[in-house]
């Protein structure tokens, strides 16, 4: 396995550009194809001793055109995608568990042989079973509660969620509830407003709180969100009447922006009303100018319900 494809020109080494073009794709066996492929790509990068720049894409035909021209080094897309029809010059890797294929550019840094060799190594490792176990189930909290029973994983990212939740003093299942509410555990999620990743952060927020706008990197996105939550905790710790209420203030501010929640507190103070609980703040929302607040109320209450569901799933 090679680190530099051009041994006569060491300066030619750089990032291998990879595009995952499986937005909203669900196979019969893997429900989180983007997350599944992202983890496999990271392991492949380690084996090949490459730095992979991994991004998401939607226009598959245009992505394949760029791939053929050498503008990107490889792409991941469903094996049965119609964009592949007639592109006989492309050499496909072996089909993945989720019925996707990896395709190396004829003019890129990576080769099909490199990728197949790395994938073969991964398939014979203990890592693959862990990845399949985490990305295969359909993680729907309320449906799981209805079915009963306990589960090995509450999400594809339990270990990561536990580590990040510890930084903010949260039960990790509350952070899992917030992530499910925001993205349904899909790293490729992108809202109409441009919020991205597991915690649906705007690129400017991700950069401000973690120095990275990498949408697909679950750890980078969660770290940025957790750093933002730390700021919100400091901002509202003197207003909330208890740690539980502080968490609800944070959830509300995460959805509506800290300015809106500060406005609610200011209105309550001006009217001589209590403001130490989320129920107190809900009562003054109708008096806050230009803040309808219905979405935020639903967001907080639904996240709280999801947290209770996760506590049943993962006691």
Q: Give yes or no for residue 123 having a pLDDT over 70.
A: yes
- Confidence band of 149 (pLDDT split at 50, 70, 90): confident
Residue 284, pLDDT score: 97
Residue 41 falls inside a structural domain = yes
Residue 176 falls inside a structural domain = yes
Co-location of 189 and 50 in the same domain: no
Q: Which domain holds residue 51?
A: 10-130
Question: Is 105 in contact with 93 (CB distance < 8 Å)?
Answer: no
Question: Smallest Cα–Cα separation from 147: which of 159, 138, 136, 155?
Answer: 138
Strand-strand pairing, 52-56 and 16-20 = parallel
Residue 1 falls inside a structural domain = no
Radius of gyration of the chain (CA): 22
Co-location of 101 and 238 in the same domain: no
DSSP for the chain, please give it: --S-S-TT-GGG--PEEEEE--TT---SS-S-HHHHHHHHHHHHHHHHT--EEEEE---HHHHHHHHHHTSSSEEEEETT-GGGTT-TT--BPPPPTTSEEEEE-TTSS--HHHHHHHHHHHHTSHHHHHHHHHHSS---HHHHHHH-S--S-SSTTHHHHHHHHHHHT--HHHHHHHHHHHHTT-TT-B-TT--BTTTTB-HHHHHHHHS---SS-HHHHHHHHHHHHHHHHHHHTTT-SSHHHHHHHHHHHHHH-HHHHHHHHHHHHHTT---SSHHHHHHHGGGSTT---HHHHHHHHHHHHHHHHHHHH--
Residue 189, pLDDT score: 95
Co-location of 81 and 143 in the same domain: no
Residue 23 falls inside a structural domain = yes
Q: Give yes or no for residue 3 having a pLDDT over 80.
A: no
List the beta bridge partners of residue 190.
196
Q: Give yes or no for residue 11 having a pLDDT over 60.
A: no
Final residue of a structural domain among 113, 130, 147: 130
Final residue of a structural domain among 69, 100, 130: 130
DSSP for 15-49, please give it: PEEEEE--TT---SS-S-HHHHHHHHHHHHHHHHT
How confident is the model over 151-166, as a mean pLDDT? 97
Q: Any idea what the CATH number is for the domain that residue 67 is in?
A: 3.40.190.10
Co-location of 144 and 108 in the same domain: no
Residue 315, pLDDT score: 83
Question: Is 207 in contact with 213 (CB distance < 8 Å)?
Answer: yes
Question: Smallest Cα–Cα separation from 101: which of 64, 136, 141?
Answer: 64
Share of the chain above pLDDT 90, in %: 87
How confident is the model over 166-190, as a mean pLDDT? 97
Co-location of 177 and 113 in the same domain: no
Co-location of 112 and 203 in the same domain: no
Residue 197, pLDDT score: 96
- Confidence band of 127 (pLDDT split at 50, 70, 90): confident
**Mean pLDDT, the chain, integer:** 93
Co-location of 287 and 189 in the same domain: yes
Write phi, then psi, for 102 (nearest 5 degrees). -100, 135
Co-location of 267 and 286 in the same domain: yes
Tell me the pLDDT tens digit for each residue of 263-308.
999 999 999 999 999 999 999 999 999 998 999 999 999 999 999 9
- Confidence band of 14 (pLDDT split at 50, 70, 90): low
Residue 3 falls inside a structural domain = no
Co-location of 153 and 288 in the same domain: yes
Co-location of 74 and 162 in the same domain: no
How confident is the model over 70-90, as a mean pLDDT? 94
Residue 212, pLDDT score: 84
Residue 5 falls inside a structural domain = no
Residue 172 falls inside a structural domain = yes
Q: Give yes or no for residue 9 having a pLDDT over 50.
A: no
How confident is the model over 178-202, as a mean pLDDT? 96
Q: Give yes or no for residue 68 having a pLDDT over 50.
A: yes
Co-location of 155 and 300 in the same domain: yes
Q: Any idea what the CATH number is for the domain that residue 254 is in?
A: 1.10.530.10
Co-location of 155 and 112 in the same domain: no
Residue 252 falls inside a structural domain = yes
Burial class of 79 by CB neighbour count within 10 A (0 to 12, 13 to 18, 19+): middle
Domain count, the chain: 2
Q: Give yes or no for residue 10 having a pLDDT over 50.
A: no
Residue 217, pLDDT score: 97
Share of the chain above pLDDT 70, in %: 96
Residue 13, pLDDT score: 44
Final residue of a structural domain among 130, 156, 178: 130
Burial class of 142 by CB neighbour count within 10 A (0 to 12, 13 to 18, 19+): middle
How confident is the model over 115-138, as a mean pLDDT? 93
């Amino acid at each position: 396995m090679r680190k530099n494809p051009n041994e006569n020109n060491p300066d030619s080494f750089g990032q291998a550009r990879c595009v995952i073009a499986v937005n909203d794709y669900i196979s019969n066996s893997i429900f989180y194809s983007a997350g599944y492929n992202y983890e496999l790509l990271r392991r492949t990068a380690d084996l090949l001793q490459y730095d992979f720049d991994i991004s998401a894409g939607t226009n598959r035909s245009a992505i394949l055109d760029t791939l053929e021209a050498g503008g990107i080094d490889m792409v991941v897309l469903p094996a049965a995608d119609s964009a592949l029809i007639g592109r006989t010059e492309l050499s496909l890797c072996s089909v993945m568990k989720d019925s996707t294929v990896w395709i190396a550019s004829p003019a890129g840094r990576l080769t099909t042989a490199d990728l197949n060799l790395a994938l073969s190594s991964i398939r014979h490792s203990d890592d693959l079973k862990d990845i399949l176990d985490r990305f295969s189930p359909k993680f729907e909290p309320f449906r799981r509660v209805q079915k009963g029973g306990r589960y090995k994983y509450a999400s594809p990212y339990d270990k990561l969620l536990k580590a990040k939740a510890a930084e903010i003093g949260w039960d990790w299942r509350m952070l899992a509830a917030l992530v499910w509410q925001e993205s349904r555990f899909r790293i490729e999620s992108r809202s109409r407003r441009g919020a991205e990743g597991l915690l649906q952060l705007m690129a400017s927020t991700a950069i401000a709180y973690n120095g990275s706008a990498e949408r697909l990197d679950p750890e980078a996105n969660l770290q940025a969100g957790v750093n933002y939550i730390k700021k919100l905790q400091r901002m509202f710790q003197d207003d909330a009447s208890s740690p539980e209420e502080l968490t609800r203030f944070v959830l509300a501010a995460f959805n509506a922006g800290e300015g809106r929640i500060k406005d609610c507190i200011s209105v309550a103070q001006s009217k001589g009303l209590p403001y130490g609980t989320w129920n107190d703040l809900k009562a003054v929302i109708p008096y806050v100018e230009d803040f309808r607040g219905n979405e935020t109320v639903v967001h907080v209450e639904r996240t709280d319900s999801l947290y209770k569901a996760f506590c049943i799933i993962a006691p």
